[in-house]
Amino acid sequence: MSKKIILPDYVIDFMNTIRASGHQIYLVGGAVRDILMERKTSNWDFATSATPEQILSLFPKAFYHNPFGTVSIPMTHDQQEQIFEVTPFRIDGNYQDHRHPDQVVWGSSLEEDVVRRDFTINAMATDGQDIVDMVGGAHDLKKGIIRCVGKPQDRFQEDALRMLRAVRQASQLCFTIEDETKRAIREHAPLLKEISSERVRDELLKILGSEYPAEGILLMRETRLLDVVLPEVMECFGVEQKSPGRHHVDDVGTHLVKSLRFCTDPDPVTRLATLLHDIGKAKTVAVDPATGTITFYNHEVVGARQAMEIAQRLCLSKKQQHKLVTLVRYHMFSVSESQTDKALRRFISHVGIEYLDAILALRHADRRGSGVPDTSWRTELFKKRLEEVQKQPFTIHDLAIKGPDIMAFFSLPPSPTVGKIMKHLFRLVDDEQVPNTKDDLMRVLKTLDSASFQ
C-alpha cells in the first residue's frame, strides 16, 4: 500500500476545484517533503494537466507572466497570504488531447516534473492522499539523506548551484549528503564560479541562518565549495595561534567555525561576521622574536577590509555590507571595568546603537568558540554600563541646560557666544568633570566670563 499524506483542508479544497473541472493536479517538491517531516512549509508548488488559461479562468486573482506557464494564485489562510504556484505538465505532442488515462500522465508528464528536480527528497508528489515517489524520496527522507535525482555528475554540470543547495538543505534539515553525491560535489566544486553571486549569496545566507550553520560551513570545506565562496576562511585553517599564556588551542579556521556554532543571533549577517571576525589573522600572523609569542596586530583592520571585499563580491545590500564590516572592525572591543564612560560612548558611536546586540552576540560566540565560559562578570558589567551611558548625553542637545537658559543668565541676545558656551559645557560633561544636571551646570556658568567666549 502506498504511503498516505494529510494536507491542510484549504489545500485539498484548492486541488478539488481544479479536479472538478476535469484536470489533474499534484502537489510537488518541497511542500511534500516539509509536510512529511511535519515542518511548516512555504512552497506550495503544483503540477497540473490544465493550461495556464484554464487555471486563470478558475481563480480570479490568479496571474502569470513567465515562459514556463507557471500561474501564481494568492491564497489567504489564517490571515496570511501565500502564493500557490501551478505549472502545467510538459506534455509532448501525443498527449496534448488529454484523452489518455492517468497512467500515461504519470508515466510521462509527472515523471518529467520529478526528474528535473534536484534531490530525491524534493522529488515526491501527491494527489492529496497518496504519495507518488518515483525516485526513493521517502526512503531518503526517513534516513536523512540528500541524494541527487539521476547521476550527480550530470546534475551538477546542468546547474552548479545544486551543489550549494545540497549543503544548504543538509544544514537546514540536519541531513547527510550521500557519498556519491558528495564525491561529485568535490569534483565539480570549481563550477560554482560560473553561478551568479546573487544566487550563491542567497544559499550562503540560508546556510548561515539555518539550524546547523557550523556543520554547513564544514561541509563546504570538505567538498571544497568554501574555496570558491569564501577562500579567505579556507586560508585560516592551519593558521596556529597557540602561545604560552594564551587561551587559544585551535587554529584560526577551527576557532571561526566553533564561534559560528555558538552564535545566538539568528541574523545571517551577524553569523557571517562571526565566521569572518578573525580572517585578518591569516594575513597579519607574526612571531614576536623576543618572546616567541604569535601576534596578529591590527587583524581587525585588515579583516574589516577583507570583509568589505567579501560583502561586495557576494552582492550584499549596502546595509548588510555596513553591518558586516562594522562588526568585524570593532569585534576587539574591551570590556574592562576601568574604561571611562567616554570610552564606552566612543564604542557605541563606532558600532552604532543598532548593532550593539549583534556585536555582543559576536563576543559571546567568540568566547564560547575559544572554550572560555559563557560570560564573565566584566562582560555583564559592561552591558549594564552600556545601558547606563546611553541615558547620558551624546550631543550638545542633550545637555540639561539650553540656549535660552544661557541667554537669560548672561543677558545675551542670540549669538555665536551662546553656542560657544554650550560647547564648553558639553566638553566638561563629556569629560565627566561635571554631572549633567541643571544645578551643576548653572554653578559652572557662575564661574564663567561670557566676554571670553566672544
Smallest separation, CB 263 to Mg ion (Å) = 24
162 binds ligand ATP (CB under 6 A): yes
Stretch that binds ligand ATP, among 114-122, 189-197, 262-270, 382-390 (CB under 6 A): 114-122
Stretch that binds ligand ATP, among 159-167, 216-224, 422-430, 440-448 (CB under 6 A): 159-167
Q: Is 27 helix (H, G, I), strand (E, B) or coil?
A: strand
Considering only 161, 273, 359, 362, the residue that binds ligand ATP (CB under 6 A) is 161
> Which stretches of the chain bind Mg ion, using CB under 5 A?
30, 43
Integer Cα distance of 361 and 342 in angstroms: 23
Which CB sits closer to Mg ion, 86 or 282?
Answer: 86
Integer Cα distance of 131 and 32 in angstroms: 8
Integer Cα distance of 20 and 302 in angstroms: 64
Contact 347, 330 (CB under 8 A): yes
Which CB sits closer to Mg ion, 30 or 213?
Answer: 30
30 binds ligand ATP (CB under 6 A): yes
Smallest separation, CB 41 to Mg ion (Å) = 8
Contact 435, 429 (CB under 8 A): yes
Of 125, 124, 219, 129, nearest to 176 by C-alpha is 219
Which does residue 117 touch among Mg ion, ligand ATP, none (CB within 5 to 8 A, set by kind)?
ligand ATP
Smallest separation, CB 148 to Mg ion (Å) = 18
Which does residue 133 touch among ligand ATP, Mg ion, none (CB within 5 to 8 A, set by kind)?
none
Which CB sits closer to Mg ion, 30 or 369?
Answer: 30
Residue 320 makes CB contacts below 8 A (sequence gap 6+) with: 269, 311
Return the residue matching grid coordinates 560612548: 345
Smallest separation, CB 22 to ligand ATP (Å) = 27
Helix axis angle for 299-313 and 268-276, nearest 10°, is 130
Contact 3, 131 (CB under 8 A): yes
Which CB sits closer to ligand ATP, 58 or 124?
Answer: 124
147 binds ligand ATP (CB under 6 A): no
Beta bridge partners of 48: 25, 88
Which does residue 29 touch among Mg ion, ligand ATP, none (CB within 5 to 8 A, set by kind)?
ligand ATP
Burial class (CB in 10 A: 0-12, 13-18, 19+), 217: buried
Residues in the site for ligand ATP, rule: CB under 6 A?
29-30, 43, 117-118, 122, 159, 161-162
